[in-house]
Structure 1
Amino acid sequence: MTVHEDDTFPEPEQQRDQDTIRAAGCVLWRRSPFDEGLEICLVHRPKYDDWSHPKGKLKRGEAPMAGALREVREETGHDCTPGTRLPTVRYLASGRPKRVDYWAAEAGPGTFSANREVDRILWLPPAAARNRLTQPRDRGLVDALLDALHLA
């Protein structure tokens, strides 16, 4: 059975989804100011001492893309132009299922300022970004970005 917005009774899958932590982010990229190659922005989160793509939990009622753009701005200081939707990443976080929706996004203007959540950012070529990412699950997003930009 297909579930529509006006259906009163959620399907079991929809009920399970209510327990899922929802988040969104972007694989933020730009053309290198030095050689016109591609650079990917990674953020360092001191709380976890990890390197990841900019992402974060959605606010109540927030659409995933809106949350992804907000998180990029909050974590990197950059505005961005969203592009192709990238694979959704699912994993357990503190014993709960977590779903992170991602988009490719070209960086626009902005200036990074360290904050409580993110203390550093790096702009790296794709191979270096893939190697710097802490979680293996995030590495496939670099390949998905390259595919989306027809650079693979």
Structure 2
Amino acid sequence: MTFPQKRIRAAGCVLWRRASSEDGLEIGLVHRPKYDDWSHPKGKLKRGEDALAGAVREVAEETGMDCRPGAPLPTAAYLANGRPKQVRYWAAEAVGGAFTPNAEVDRLEWLSPADARDRLTHERDRSLVGALLAALHLA
């Protein structure tokens, strides 16, 4: 007998901060050495954890930043190691904190929206940059 695979539930944020650049903001991306990729901070939800609370927790764990969540952004759905995965995202402004490299995330970079789009490893993450700009009425 086979059982349907349970969907992996995850959440994250497109982290941003105000900047003096032409766009007026920078987007924070994390580098994960395990996958050698650049992505938005995100992670699996704990059992019974609310998605927004999990997204804020993941931002703090991966970036060291306190954030103020804002508008919901599109949900990503894809296969991860053959299992269906759903990641809910929110726009979130970084309001303080400091990054410390760790085993899961070794780098945090703040980039203009155009540079962030170029740096992101996965296509599914790139569309979130435009969604953030639209949510902030900058697109």
TM class by smaller structure: over 0.9
Residue 127 of structure 2: aligned partner: 140
What is the identity, as a one-letter code, of the residue corresponding to 2:96?
P
What is the identity, as a one-letter code, of the residue corresponding to 2:48?
G
Residues of 2 paired with 1:68 and 1:35: CA distance? 27
Residue 95 of structure 1: aligned partner: 82
Aligned residues: 136
Residue 72 of structure 1: aligned partner: 59
Displacement of 1:108 in angstroms is: 1.0
Displacement of 1:101 in angstroms is: 0.2
Higher relative contact order (CA 8 A, sep 6+): 2
What does 1:40-79 align with in structure 2 at a 5 Å threshold? 40-79=27-66
RMSD, aligned CA? 1.4
What is the identity, as a one-letter code, of the residue corresponding to 1:66?
A
Which residue, out of 118, 121, 124, partners 2:105?
Answer: 118
Q: Secondary structure at the match of 1:129?
A: helix
Displacement of 1:62 in angstroms is: 0.3
Which residue, out of 84, 92, 95, partners 1:108?
Answer: 95
Point out the structure with max Rg over C-alpha: 1
Q: Kindly provide the CA deviation profile for residues 79-111 of structure 1, in whole angstroms up to 9, marking residues without a partner as x.
A: 000000000000000100000000000001100
Q: Kindly provide the CA deviation profile for residues 5-26 of structure 1, in whole angstroms up to 9, marking residues without a partner as x.
A: xxxxxxxxxx96x710000000
Q: Secondary structure at the match of 1:70?
A: helix
Q: Secondary structure at the match of 1:62?
A: coil
Q: Secondary structure at the match of 2:117?
A: helix
Residue 7 of structure 2: aligned partner: 20
Displacement of 1:35 in angstroms is: 3.6
Residues of 2 paired with 1:87 and 1:119: CA distance? 26
TM-score when normalising by structure 1:
0.86
Q: Kindly provide the CA deviation profile for residues 43-71 of structure 1, in whole angstroms up to 9, marking residues without a partner as x.
A: 00000000000000000010000000000
Residues of 2 paired with 1:134 and 1:107: CA distance? 22
Q: Moved runs in structure 1, 4+ residues, more than 3 A?
A: none
- Percent identical pairs in the alignment equals 72
Q: Secondary structure at the match of 1:87?
A: strand
Residue 8 of structure 1: aligned partner: none
